């Protein structure tokens, strides 16, 4: 992880359909979410939406990374168990 990103655990605050077609949403098995988290004692709501599993609910915890210079920009690592090649 670069020096500009910080790891934290946030909570899902809003959920949005990934598709207007229910069959497509089930096929993609996910939805989009706004995440709430703490940074330097402040409550931050993400500026961008991230993809979360379809069975996620508001209030569920989620591991994220955020940009230290712009905390409203968040990232999610999907392949956490992959080893980096040096």
The H-assigned helical ranges of 1-86 are 22-28
Residue 19 lies in a domain: yes
Q: Is residue 84 part of a domain?
A: no
Task: State what percent of residues in the chain have pLDDT above 70.
Answer: 73
Sign of CA dihedral 19, 22, 24, 79: positive
Residue 81 placed within a domain: no
pLDDT at 4: 84
pLDDT (tens digit, 9 = 90+) per residue, 11-40? 999 998 866 666 665 666 778 899 999 988
User: For the chain, what is the domain count?
Assistant: 1
> pLDDT tens-digit profile of 45-72?
999 999 888 889 999 999 999 988 888 9
CA distance 5 to 15: 24
Structure tokens at 2: 């670069």
> Is residue 49 one of the residues assigned to a domain?
yes
Instruction: Pick the range with the lowest mean pLDDT from 5-14, 52-61, 72-81.
Output: 72-81
- Identify whether 56 is part of a domain: yes
Q: 0.85 cut: is pTM over it?
A: no
Q: What range defines the domain where residue 28 resides? A: 5-75
Confirm whether 83 is domain-assigned. no
Q: Quick one: tokens of 37? A: 């988290």
**31 within a domain of the structure (yes/no):** yes
């Amino acid at each position: 992880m670069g020096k500009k990103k910080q790891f934290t655990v946030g909570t899902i605050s809003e959920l949005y359909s990934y598709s207007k077609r229910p069959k497509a949403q089930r096929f993609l098995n996910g939805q989009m979410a706004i995440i709430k988290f703490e940074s330097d004692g402040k409550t931050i709501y993400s500026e961008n939406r991230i993809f979360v599993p379809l069975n996620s609910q508001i209030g569920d915890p989620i591991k994220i990374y955020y940009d230290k210079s712009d905390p409203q920009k968040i990232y999610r690592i999907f392949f956490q168990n992959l080893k980096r090649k040096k």
